[in-house]
Chains A and B, each alone.
Chain A
Amino acid sequence: MKVELQKDNYTANPFVFRKALVVNKVEEAPGIYTYFLKFDGEFKILPGQFNMLYVYGLGEVPISLSNLPIFRNGYTLLEHTVRVMGAVTKAITLGLGIGSFIGIRGPYGNGWPLKDAEGRDITIVGGGIGIAPLRPIIKYVEREREKFGRMNILLGARTPRDMPYKYELDKYGAILNTKLLLSSDTPADGWVHHVGFVTDLINNIDVNIKNSVVFVCGPEVMMRVAVKKLLGRGFRKEDIYLSLERRMRCGIGVCGTCQFGHYFVCRDGPVFRYSDIEDYLWVEGI
């Protein structure tokens, strides 16, 4: 029998990873570290996409890109911010110092729709480690400032100590035509910003709602509240983008463990337009 099947883009074993060298490691907050990974050759990846990081003998974890990639002198430098959660992330943060190797394959997922955002106001809503995948957007808008409208950056963490990228937050606020609003769930000495949830700040932003794009990432509960508040303020469903997280093993839509409704988060996401997932987002455990 002639099997009438089509091999789409199948070349070699997609699970083969590349070997990367850890060239720097920065402690962002308790249990949160940013790794600077270096490869020979070019590694193309877009803001919002992620890589699978592999630790020998333990396994892989999906980690979003947390800064724009740098490609120069024949090598690529990538940043990934990792929070200690399970066996693999523990092994990365405790075991991998500067000079260690790590396996990396990717990029996976679709990324933030930055082309569509051109000419429009941008609002970024990030909570905790969810700020990491949003950071490349901020850097990109900074670099291509004239292409975008006003930018509002809303960032929150449980406590001020838990906020990643503390050392450069001032720089975000200093970007032309940009407003930075911070929040901490709990009060702390010397904290002059909002106390409460980052989503509270949605009421305070001044943008052209009809010509806006909103990028949200954080715990799913926080993202649901954000959506509610954004819709309440009149943002269109189609203009709200969320980056979701699920259990992931393959990154290429074959292991099935990242299913969210009929979507494979690894392949169809991790960034979703709210209007595409409104049937699922409110259903517990879908």
Chain B
Amino acid sequence: MDNECYLHKAKYVMLETRLLNTGLAKKVWSCSTMNTNELCGNNCNLFVGGFKDLGTVVKLLQEDLGGVRLFGYKLHNDRIEFGEMKDFDEIPTTVADIQKPGYFRISSTGYRFRHSFSSPKAFLLPPEHSILTVSQGYEIVEDGDGEMGVVFLGIKPCDRKAMSILDGILYGKSPVYTKRRDSIKAIIVEECLEPGETCFCSAVKAGPTISSGFDIAYARLYKDTLVFKYGSSLGEKILVKAGLQKAQDSHVKAYFEMVANAISMMNSRISRVEELQKALKERIGDKSFWEKVSSNCVGCGNCNYVCPTCFCTEINDIVEEGYSKRIGMWLGCLTYTYGLVAGGHFRQELYTRYRHFVLHKFLFYPKQVGDVGCVGCGRCITWCPLGVDLRDTLNLLVEGGTR
């Protein structure tokens, strides 16, 4: 029995046992009659290996692409950050993360982590980036940033989807974003089989698996057992070259069971997106509701900075040695400055800024880029110093604010 047969069987099992009443189940069901499917994208040609094999895959990919730098998640001061990696083995494999609203700790028991505090956004649209350098005589001095090639290693499906959302806003328009986006030569995704406590990616269709927009994806089945799949011809070439074994029946079964588990765990964490959108439209001007749900917010903007899809920036001029450097800097909509103009303020009250964050993700992004702007990574919840939980706001919306 090959993988494909198992795929259908696994999907059937999922439908029967866990997903019957969820929106995703309907989608999977309709897809299971076709050749492609929502979960894999290439008929689930699954391969199996360990971290050593991942190392081989990365090495082969680097050889194939030539002179590329690796970016991914790595340990940094007892947290996990997104940044440049010296080697593939910087991927944390012997630690887990414990995440709760307003809480993040690294634990040495366990081997799965969910996500970093910084996302690929930190690479694509750096917190501070040069826009222009101007002389006193108003002449432009161009900054000659060199060409680069980059591989994203092990990014999670939620972060990969966040990139597509940012593409919709910034690609082809923001010079720094466009250049950095074009520098990405390959994407390796790590699927999440055990969601963290603040995660809800499946509820916004951003995970825990990925079906397109990647070259190679892997999932950590057990400690050193990884299930691989490819999402592009480049990925296929590399996996074949690496000599990976086809996954056995037991692996495929375990993989789909874990995926189904993860989905059923997360889907119930927020209301259905369509219901949320309806409630948001009705509540848009309900000041007392927004004041209530934002009452613990202090307007620090942490949520904005850790959010993989927040893109707002300020432009500051910094004068040095006869030149003015125009620097783009992240600006969070939760901070007081957002909406502040000389002689007035368009969002003076904190509730209006908190509301913008929520409305933008769920109502405005769909109109701006055609998809919900929240990827359910839960970073805004984990890294909120006050533990303000976006999911509470969303659930209150639908429940009618009586809780």
- Which residues on A are within 8 Å of B, measured CB to CB? 1-3, 5-10, 13-17, 19, 54, 56-60, 85-89, 101-103, 245-247, 249-250, 252-257, 259, 261-262, 264, 279, 282-286
Nearest residue (CB) in A for B285 is A283
* Known contacts A255-B313, A257-B312, A259-B356; A1 and B234 CB within 8 A of each other: yes
Task: Evaluate contact between A1 and B232: CB separation under 8 angstroms.
Answer: yes
Q: Can you report 12 residue pairs joining A to B where beta carbons are below 8 Å apart?
A: A1-B231, A15-B131, A15-B326, A17-B140, A57-B324, A58-B317, A86-B341, A87-B342, A101-B138, A249-B314, A250-B315, A262-B368
Q: Is B243 an interface residue (CB 8 A)?
A: no
Task: Evaluate contact between A16 and B132: CB separation under 8 angstroms.
Answer: yes
Other A-B contacts than A285-B349, A285-B356, 8 sampled, CB-CB below 8 A, are: A3-B181, A57-B324, A85-B341, A85-B342, A87-B342, A284-B285, A284-B287, A285-B353
* Nearest Cβ on chain B to A54's Cβ, whole angstroms: 8
Q: How many B residues touch the partner, as a band?
A: 35 or more
Q: Is B137 an interface residue (CB 8 A)?
A: yes
The stretch among B112-120, B166-174, B194-202 that forms the contact with chain A is B166-174
Task: Evaluate contact between A59 and B316: CB separation under 8 angstroms.
Answer: yes
Which residues of the partner chain A approach B136 to less than 8 Å between Cβ atoms? 56
Task: Evaluate contact between B313 and A249: CB separation under 8 angstroms.
Answer: yes
Q: Is B343 an interface residue (CB 8 A)?
A: yes
* Known contacts A89-B342, A283-B284; A56 and B134 CB within 8 A of each other: yes
Q: Which of B139, B231, B314, B360 contacts A259 (CB 8 A)?
A: B360
* Mask: chain B, 348-378; 1 = CB below 8 Å from A; 0 = not: 1101110110011001100110000000000
Complex alpha-carbon distance, A66 and B171, angstroms: 32
Complex alpha-carbon distance, A256 and B167, angstroms: 14
Which residues of the partner chain A approach B177 to less than 8 Å between Cβ atoms? 254
Main SS class of interface, B: mixed
Which residues of the partner chain A approach B269 to less than 8 Å between Cβ atoms? none
* Known contacts A16-B140, A256-B313; A1 and B181 CB within 8 A of each other: no
Q: Which of B137, B175, B331 contacts A257 (CB 8 A)?
A: B331
Nearest residue (CB) in B for A4 is B213
Which residues of the partner chain B approach A59 to less than 8 Å between Cβ atoms? 315-317, 326
* Known contacts A15-B132, A56-B136; A1 and B215 CB within 8 A of each other: yes
Nearest residue (CB) in A for B343 is A85
Task: Evaluate contact between B138 and A19: CB separation under 8 angstroms.
Answer: yes
Nearest residue (CB) in B for A267 is B173
* Nearest Cβ on chain A to B240's Cβ, whole angstroms: 16
The stretch among B7-15, B86-94, B182-190, B219-227 that forms the contact with chain A is B182-190
* Nearest Cβ on chain A to B57's Cβ, whole angstroms: 14
Task: Evaluate contact between A9 and B172: CB separation under 8 angstroms.
Answer: yes
* Nearest Cβ on chain B to A268's Cβ, whole angstroms: 10
Complex alpha-carbon distance, A5 and B139, angstroms: 33
Q: Is B29 an interface residue (CB 8 A)?
A: no
Complex alpha-carbon distance, A178 and B170, angstroms: 45
Which residues of the partner chain A approach B148 to less than 8 Å between Cβ atoms? none
